[in-house]
Structure 1
């Protein structure tokens, strides 16, 4: 059903105050005098003028927002700067510019978290949840709804709790009707208790939407009428227009097209009065559908074209696509198949463009948020740097005194040496000898320092990988554990099972990451333990460990290594290398594929090769396989996940054993990983 659920939520949330400061002080840290109060009134005047402009005149609004932020920054008041970001964010939010709203609200979020202002922080989290919901980032929206819900509960703000229930219920409306209705009815109960008629109307509409979408049309109509009845106590023309539109949609499903058109006309009259063009587009789309059902095809075409024009004004590609599809159906019904096919192709193009546009905006948003985070980091660095200026000046002063003292001592020494010419020559000779020794030591120290820097860089990159890979599973565990710790019995057993499964999967992923890191860490401390071993037997032992993994994909593995081929080396390291390479081969091989393990003597080395006929590796990716850096492990042919550290460990172990590792691959034809180790290992520990 074409409902206006997303518009409903836009209009029912309370107008909260959100803010941010830029290197400013709180009211308790500044002097509030007559001049300060005068400046705050000036800021209020700028903001009042800014929000009076419609979004079509946004450039004028931005001029006043700029003046307001400049005045607030000069005033150096955290609360005043926060107020400017609040009003600007709401301005974007009311004009459906949710990406810009998210950027503005995130500027405030950092500082509210630092100031621990729970009241404003809960409101800000709610705004962010709503904004992310409207840009189809429901997972992120859900996270912010939970944060806002917990804050409101701590502050005993029942109305805020109700609005959070409303938002969570809306997200579940597309996934689980039972859970959605549970949250929405909780919200309705709170709104009824406090006689919050706007919230009551909103809850009835959202419950009706879920009910009607579940094909309980008559019950949905009853709930829409209850919403209309509640508006008698709190006039809200927008919610009234939405109720009329949704009632019309219900009557289309009941095939009572005349009554449907009556409600659409009522909704359209209110929409035209309020001049909400996106609602015009939706209503005209519904009218066109009713006319089509009645067989009035020319009228249906007229109303679809009107809907398209309003959708273009607002930039809504989804409604444009639905209208083009409707026109295609009309022309097909009237026998104009060529025109119908042309419009259907146009529908596909518009629909794909809509998805690309949304994805592009999401990418731009997260790039902007990343830039914001980096900027804040730089600000904190500069702040720390400024705080240390006085300390550095004091240190320089002390150094100056020390240099003066040293200069006096040197002058005295020169005078003394003038009378000790013979001794001076001996001292020079001795100093030259010592200087040569120092230079030699310096070179040795520099070599060691370069080596330690390389090790430190490798460690830092490894930590970045660990932090990057652990962030997602640990965030999931944190969020779902927090939900299960709620003590108000709002989650049923089914939800608890879902949450526990998510926690289990996240914990398993984190455990795999930490296991690879543990293997690497233990290796850094343990010396090589070289002993004679049979490569054939060692490979067979590792194949037994991987047998289940191979059987699951019906992969055959052939050990072609000679039974008489022995080497003297560290068994654990060689076993780890072979296990990782075979495991990767299984992971990226197709079902019923084949893997072959070979070995040959090359001079004083043994070359061991693992071949597979799997998906292969792109040429551009080959040189990055063994590098410790930010990267994500690719999924296997059966969607197996990994940590991305296996090949890095293999390279590290091979080099410590005195060999080298290589790879050759062709996409869709398989890969071949080879490594060499000395037949008799003489590499020192």
Structure 2
């Protein structure tokens, strides 16, 4: 079975290559001496600190100087240098085997590169993050960051970094057994490396293509590519990858069942490792040869290489730490070529970006505030319009209800006021019948005269009611004028009720002060008197008495309609003038009533700025007292109304 950690060794040749080539302790030492002599220029200090961290071969020293760089950049609020400082810290922690701290620093580097809008730096941080996730075995997240970096490098036309990212991502696809996709990535990286004539990158691309061919069973093509990669690596003096390629090829051919090829590659890996003094590779090659000889039945050779494996394993102190170091080395790109840009230009560009961003944010805030203001104003206007429409609808509804109530009240007035004259006609009809039986022609003639007068009065009553119906517009009309109380009573009402009184043998009397002139609506005044006199006659027994008396009382006229009839109980007195309390009742001779008359008396008294009250005892009689304003010649009639 192919062991996955071999993949990490393979990646390391590319990912660390430019970094390892860049690491030069002599350069680092010279830069440390230069830094010690610097006194005042923070910009120059940050540049030197970055170079020291970049070139230093000791991860602890690289961590020290990258930390100083971060501190200076934080004090200067310089996002670009913060990006560079954190990425160097991440590399140092990775070399030390602290993947958690390394990942934290890489994310910080990514954040500051984004703030500085430094896209190459963004992609570089994403590549570094992908490498850590790859070592941790989180392939899905590693794929995501690798592909994000590739997209940026394509947009920025950075050929070397794009080729490195394609090679790393292709190897991740190969580890995931997506061999066709891996092959596409490797082939593109080879083309890009060839464009910039980057030989070590070409070698790694060829080697990885060879590994894919081997896993696909295309042995001839696999061997051809690995041989080409090996020739380039030998020319460059980089033989460590050759040892790793060979052990990996041994695993592949072992799985294919080709033990001769497997032994050939394992032996060459062992020989190169011995020659270069690579203990880890010597250990792994020894184990591989032992396993192959054991499977081939050559137990003597298997025992020999097993002994060598154990010896090399025991000679390596802290094997797990060295293993982590090997894994970490596999994550660097072929080239970590850092493009140094003039610091002053970067600062100026950063300031311009910040300034433009602030202006854009301010404009957006102003626009948002304006939109919110307009929306709020429109909402207020809409609410106001709706409120006004609601009030208007409510007013129209109330007006319609008032009109409907007035209509109902008006028809009630008509029916009630017609009831009195009709009752008078009934009384006249009874007298006519009596005079005919007694053959009293003089009486008939007299009755005829009264009958004609009653008809005229009823006609006038109907005309008045019809006039009200035509002129009223939602309310009972009120047109005050000078009214002679005695004239209204004797000309329009006395003759109407005298026959009703005679029919019940009731004595109807009246007494008015001279020149008693009211300021009132004549129609409503007649309605008040008609109803009170009609009720008094209706609820008085035969041979009873009804009187109408009027006198002045200051600025008011005191009008009293008194009878000695059945009276009103205390319970009925308490609700006598209740609104809409229309209860049917019958007079002493069975006369019908709707209970509307007294309500009309009450309403019309108030309409004429007067009052009404009642005094009554059961079986003794009732007195209704109406007070209405007298006409004042010295008062403006308009204001009096």
TM tier, shorter chain? 0.3 to 0.5
Give 1 or 2 for the bigger CA radius of gyration: 2
Structure with the greater relative contact order (CA < 8 A, sep ≥ 6): 1 or 2? 2
**If the length of structure 2 is used for normalisation, what is the TM-score?**
0.43
